[in-house]
Amino acid sequence: MASSTTSRPAFSRWLSASNDITQQFLSIGAQPDFISLAGGLPAAEFYPNAAISEAMERALSRWGSKALEYGPVEGFLPLRQHIAERMSRQAVRSFTTDNVLLTVGAMQGLDLLGKVLIDPHERVVAQFPTYVGALDAWRPRSPSYQALDWDVDGATTADALRGAKFIYTVPNYSNPTGALVSIAARQALLEKAMEAGIWLVEDDPYLALQLDGTAVPSMLELHGRMEKTGSYQGPVIYLGTLSKSLVPGLRVGWAIASPDMIQALVLAKQSADLSGSMLTQALALELLEAGLEEAHVPEIVRHYRSRRDALCAAAATELGEWFEWEMPPGGMFVWMRSRHPAIDTDALYGFALSEKVAFVPGSAFDPAGKLRSAMRVNFTRNAPAVLEEGIARLAVATRRYLGSNC
Amino acid sequence: MASSTTSRPAFSRWLSASNDITQQFLSIGAQPDFISLAGGLPAAEFYPNAAISEAMERALSRWGSKALEYGPVEGFLPLRQHIAERMSRQAVRSFTTDNVLLTVGAMQGLDLLGKVLIDPHERVVAQFPTYVGALDAWRPRSPSYQALDWDVDGATTADALRGAKFIYTVPNYSNPTGALVSIAARQALLEKAMEAGIWLVEDDPYLALQLDGTAVPSMLELHGRMEKTGSYQGPVIYLGTLSKSLVPGLRVGWAIASPDMIQALVLAKQSADLSGSMLTQALALELLEAGLEEAHVPEIVRHYRSRRDALCAAAATELGEWFEWEMPPGGMFVWMRSRHPAIDTDALYGFALSEKVAFVPGSAFDPAGKLRSAMRVNFTRNAPAVLEEGIARLAVATRRYLGSNC
């Protein structure tokens, strides 16, 4: 945080605890010669530019001025309908437009959730390590955190949940760990959340990026099966997005939840930006109706799988002495945990930057900033040869760091 | 606020003080037979759809995947440059990209400002009556308010300002009053803000909608003239938008401020939505470079002028017995103050809705919700004949209301 050059009033307290790590990653990508394994960015070379350009033409001629207006705060109605129908098919139960709010990426859903649920020092039970964007989103609301234990019979009991506002999870190919949570653990958590009477946030940006194995039903689906009729009234707040399965630049995401929660989120969205862009929402509808997501996903999954494999193979050779990891069955990240007690990934980060390679240090995923024995490494953004070069640089950086350390 | 149907945790406290008035206005527009004089919506029939469609094609072929990416949090660099250069020409001093953040409409600028400046119960000095969107934006931050007196030698002294975080103003064709603030009053307020050492927010969505008279320089320009060189470091935080001069559906606005404030706002934006849509920002650049705003504004100004005149003429005949107002020299609104002590515009609103006409009751523009002797009436959205019918319905509603009241 740059300090003020004047004697003007201080910035809000939460800013001093903030960091610009995401801002850095979003701009580091532009530096030539730099290899960023940091962000959670899709591979831009596969974006379906031509199909998007055609869909945009169709959207503008189909909707005309309607696509250029302020929209309803809830978002473009035909897209809300499309999302509701899609989720109804997937979950084999009915969701209505009252269950759907369109957001500026799933990230805005996190921001709005913080606004409607967190008063200062209230408790959030969050899967640990925790997506840095969720911590960023909620920092202005000053919550306290408790780590979630995903184990079916694990330490997170309904008692531990009671008094918390909500549980935060990324069960599909988690950010940052890449882990896929089993159906048994999902079912157990859902039951605990219901017993404790709290909200259960299911952040699901990586759903489409299934690289191996079989998919597991979402907690929204699992709960939706219990109460089949009428508008969904359950405790699950599901966040989806087109940013990973299509392109991020539309900034189109959605929240699916009970109508009372949707209406609270709508009031928060009204106070955040009045409405999203009807133009990009109308474009998203056109893309979905044309089946572009179904056509595009298998192509990127094929590439992402070979990129993951290339990165993990290079890392096994170059970094295996110092780090260990599980091969993630999907998503965008490998979570590398240090095997060497002297490694502090915050300190390693500086050495990496000077070798022109970036990752995200584990501390970014810890509300207390203390997790310094791991790092998140992205495999989707760069071609296999670039990933291999990135891992090689990371090995040089680690060797230099450990040399300087002894 | 719909109450929760479950025993789940309560929503955040600010929501109980919120209202869905803007949400209502944004959806009321869609009801057939209803005449909304409520929202601040441009006239959709004049949107330059064809030019926008062509500009979108150019943007996609010029920028390709870059327009479909996550952007830097600060926004699409070429558009930031364009905004900085435009403001530099206008203010005859240099602004750099370090002074510019792109936002999702000017509304997001208000949300981000609240996040970076307001901790609970801190004081905002706001022009009274106050734009309902600003009150909405800051409600989650729980500020206290003090009314600003715009008079040059008025009661708002530097002493009264000291200890506040910022001053909030809409000096051009204010929302809700339509008033244009004189250069002397702007200069005086700027000096008071500098003396008190606080930020001065200049919210300027209606700049282009000058219907009569001459324009007055912005406070950003007035201050910029004092310190001519280098990146702007002053206390003015200026918010601009394309929503009123072109189309709202792009959701492209900007904040211009000192680099330390921009960096704080960037951190808040990172935590709100990661980045805006590069696609609509690239489209906005294309539209501005093609001079479409300069071409479009004179056309809408001509229509808005005749709509304002038609509404005011009809109101003089139909409502003059109960309300008085000044003819606004620009913007989108007439602020009608009741001349009849029995009129409570909150109560009148219900009668208006049953006559299928809407306005915004004065209470929406009062942090304390007590201003019930006035209403905001929009003249830009509807054709003259529709405005006349709307005013006629409002007269019927007023007569019924006063009849029921006696």
Of B13, B61, B250, the CB nearest to A277: B250
**How many Å apart are CA B314 and CA B311, to the nearest integer?**
5
Residue B294, pLDDT > 80, answer yes
- Flag if B22 and A70 touch (Cβ within 8 Å): no
Q: CB distance from B16 to chain A under 8 Å?
A: no
Q: Mean pLDDT across the stretch A300-326? A: 98
In this structure, whether the domain defined by A69-290 belongs to CATH 3.40.640.10 is answered with yes
Digit-coded pLDDT (tens) for B296-308: 999 999 999 999 9
pLDDT of residue A48: 96
Best residue in B1, B8, B79, B239 for a mutation probing chain A (most A CBs within 10 Å): B8
Question: Which residue among A2, A8, A275 places its CB closest to the CB of B198?
Answer: A8
Q: Is A50 on the interface with B (CB under 8 A)?
A: no
Q: Are B249 and A41 an interchain contact pair (Cβ–Cβ within 8 Å)?
A: no
Mean pLDDT of B354-360: 95
* Least Cα separation, residue B26 to chain A (angstroms): 5
B279 touches chain A (CB under 8 A): yes
| A·B CB contacts under 8 A | 273
**A386 and chain B in contact, CB less than 8 A:** no
Residue B156's pLDDT is 64
CB contact under 8 A, B274 and A57: no
Q: Which residue of A has its CA nearest to B10?
A: A117
Q: Does B266 touch chain A (CB under 8 A)?
A: yes
pLDDT band, residue B47 (cuts 50/70/90): very high
- Is B296 at the interface with chain A, CB within 8 A? no
Phi, psi (rounded to 5 degrees) for A61: -80, -25
- Mean pLDDT, rounded, for A280-285: 97
Interface of B with A in 79-108 (CB under 8 A): 104-105, 107-108
Task: Enter the DSSP assignment of B93.
Answer: S
Is residue B198 less than 8 Å (CB to CB) from chain A? yes
pLDDT at residue B144 in the model = 96
Each residue of B222-276: pLDDT tens digit?
Answer: 998 877 777 899 999 999 999 999 999 999 999 999 999 999 999 999 999 999 9
Q: Which residues of B12-40 are buried (b: 16+ CB within 10 A; e: fewer)?
A: bebbeebbbbbbbbbbbbeeeebbbbbbb
Provide the CATH topology of domain B66-289: Aspartate Aminotransferase; domain 2 (3.40.640)
Q: Is the pLDDT of residue A6 over 80?
A: no
The DSSP 8-state label assigned to residue B103 in this structure reads: E
Tell me the chain A residues in contact with residue B113 when contact means C-beta distances shorter than 8 Å: none
Hunting for tokens 């470079």 — which residue is that? B289
* DSSP-derived secondary structure letter, B98: G
Nearest Cβ partner of A105 from B5, B273, B280? B273
How many whole angstroms separate alpha carbon A13 and alpha carbon B115? 10
pLDDT at A225: 82
pLDDT of residue B90: 87
Distance CA A211, CA A329 (A): 6
Q: What is the ipTM of this complex?
A: 0.94
Q: Which of A56, A249, A283 minimises the CB distance to B69? A: A249
Q: What residues of B are in contact with residue A233 (Cβ under 8 Å)?
A: 5-6
Nearest CA in chain A to B116: A12
Task: Provide, as residue numbers in chain B, all residues whose Cβ is less than 8 Å from the Cβ of A70.
Answer: 26, 39, 41, 243, 248-249
Q: Among positive and negative, which fits the CA dihedral A338, A340, A344, A350?
A: negative
CA distance B117 to chain A (A): 5
The per-residue pLDDT of chain A, averaged, comes to 92
Q: Does B233 touch chain A (CB under 8 A)?
A: yes
Nearest CA to A15 among B117, B220, B73, B225? B117
Of the candidates B12, B41, B197, which has its C-beta nearest A70's C-beta?
Answer: B41
Q: How far is CA A384 from CA A388, B15, B168, in A?
A: 6, 49, 52
Q: How far is B315 from chain A (nearest CA, A)?
A: 27
For residue B360, the chain A residues in CB contact (below 8 A) are none
Q: Which of A30, A136, A267 sits opposite B18 (nearest CB)?
A: A267
Residue of B270, B283, B287, B332 to mutate for A, most A C-beta atoms under 10 A: B270
3-state SS assignment for residue B334: strand
Specify the pairing of strand B360-361 against strand B323-324. unpaired
Whether A264 and B133 lie within 8 Å, measured CB to CB: no
Domain(s) of CATH 3.90.1150.10: residues in chain B: 13-48+294-405
Per-residue pLDDT at A209: 98
Is the pLDDT at B347 greater than 80? The verdict is yes
* Cβ–Cβ gap A268/B140 under 8 Å: yes
pLDDT higher than threshold 50 for residue A5 = no
Termini Cα distance of chain A = 32
Q: Which of A13-22, B170-179, B355-364 has the lowest mean pLDDT?
A: A13-22
For residue A405, the model assigns a pLDDT of 66
Q: How far does A86 lie from chain B, in Å, by closest CA? A: 24
Determine contact, residues B95/A46, Cβ cutoff 8 Å.
Answer: no
B49–A64: do the CB atoms touch at under 8 Å? yes
B252: CB partners within 8 A, 6+ apart = B79, B102, B104, B105, B241, B242, B243, B276, B280, B281, B284
pLDDT of residue A30: 64
**Option in A53, A259, A276 nearest B251 (CB):** A276
Q: Mean pLDDT over residues A235-243, rounded?
A: 97
Task: Name the B residues in 155-184 with CB < 8 Å from any A CB.
Answer: 164-166
- The shortest CB-CB distance from B267 to any of A15, A44, A248 is to A15
For A108, the closest chain B residue by CA position comes to B273
In chain B, ranges of CATH 3.40.640.10 domains: 66-289
* Ranges for all domains in chain A classified under CATH 3.40.640.10: 69-290
Tell me, which fold does domain B13-48+294-405 have in CATH? Aspartate Aminotransferase, domain 1 (3.90.1150)
Contacts of residue B66 in chain A, CB cutoff 8 Å?
Answer: 44
Q: Tell me the pLDDT tens digit for each residue of B177-231.
A: 999 999 999 999 999 999 999 999 999 999 999 999 999 999 999 998 877 777 8
pLDDT band at A150 (very low <50, low <70, confident <90, very high): confident
Q: What is the mean pLDDT of chain B?
A: 92
Question: Distance (Å) from the C-alpha of residue A5 to the closest C-alpha of chain B?
Answer: 8
How large is the average pLDDT for residues A276-286? Answer: 97
- Give yes or no for a contact between A86 and A254, defined as CB atoms under 8 angstroms apart: no
Residue-wise pLDDT tens digits, A23-60: 777 666 667 899 999 989 999 999 999 999 999 999 99
Residue A203 pairs in a beta bridge with: A239
pLDDT greater than 60 at residue B2: no
Greater model confidence, B405 or B177? B177
Mean pLDDT of the region B384-389: 98
Q: Chain B residues with CB inside 8 Å of A197's CB?
A: 6-9
Question: Is the model's pLDDT at A156 over the cut of 70?
Answer: no
Q: Is A3 on the interface with B (CB under 8 A)?
A: yes
Phi, psi of B227 (to 5 degrees): -120, 100
